[in-house]
């Protein structure tokens, strides 16, 4: 009997001292349609579907028909992608003879993140391939759910 009690106590001590897996913070389900509005007044619609199996990913489709996935990392959804035609350089004259260079579109690489609780985020623009320069390399934005 004494041996059984010691074994039971040892088993209980093992159970109590074993580290449990850390609990994952509750991530809001973002499934829905959102108004995207940045600090410059640009707007669009995002349709978001989230999956968490086991890592959380937001699957986003924009009103312009583009789509991307953003992984949840350290409490924020984040994505880096290249947008074809994301920068439009205006037409201009160049050289001593005033040769006309027509407007042209070029890809832009963006890194974008947002907080799933506050629905605010930032986007950084990198345009190494475009012959014209971006005046603003960072925007903040807000997502507002509109399909309630």
Query: pLDDT, tens digit, for every residue of 103-143?
Result: 888 888 999 999 999 999 999 988 665 667 667 788 999 99
CB 147 within 8 A of CB 32: yes
Mean pLDDT across the chain: 82
Cα–Cα separations (whole angstroms), residue 112 to 69, 76, 123, 125? 11, 10, 4, 9
Is pLDDT at 84 greater than 80 in this prediction? Answer: yes
Question: Rounded distance, CA 59 to CA 42, Å?
Answer: 21
């Amino acid at each position: 009997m004494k041996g059984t009690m010691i074994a039971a106590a040892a088993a209980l001590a093992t159970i109590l001292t074993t580290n449990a897996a850390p609990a994952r913070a509750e991530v809001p389900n973002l499934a829905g349609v959102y108004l995207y509005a940045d600090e410059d007044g640009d707007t669009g619609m995002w349709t978001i579907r989230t999956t968490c199996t086991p890592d959380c990913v937001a699957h986003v489709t924009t009103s312009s028909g583009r789509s991307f996935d953003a992984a949840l990392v350290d409490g924020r959804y984040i994505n880096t992608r290249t947008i074809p035609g994301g920068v439009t350089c205006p037409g201009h004259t160049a050289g001593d003879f005033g040769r006309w260079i027509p407007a042209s579109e070029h890809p832009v690489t963006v890194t974008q993140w947002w907080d799933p609780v506050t629905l605010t985020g930032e986007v950084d623009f990198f345009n190494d391939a475009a012959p014209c320069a971006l005046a603003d390399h960072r925007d903040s934005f807000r997502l507002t759910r509109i399909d309630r």
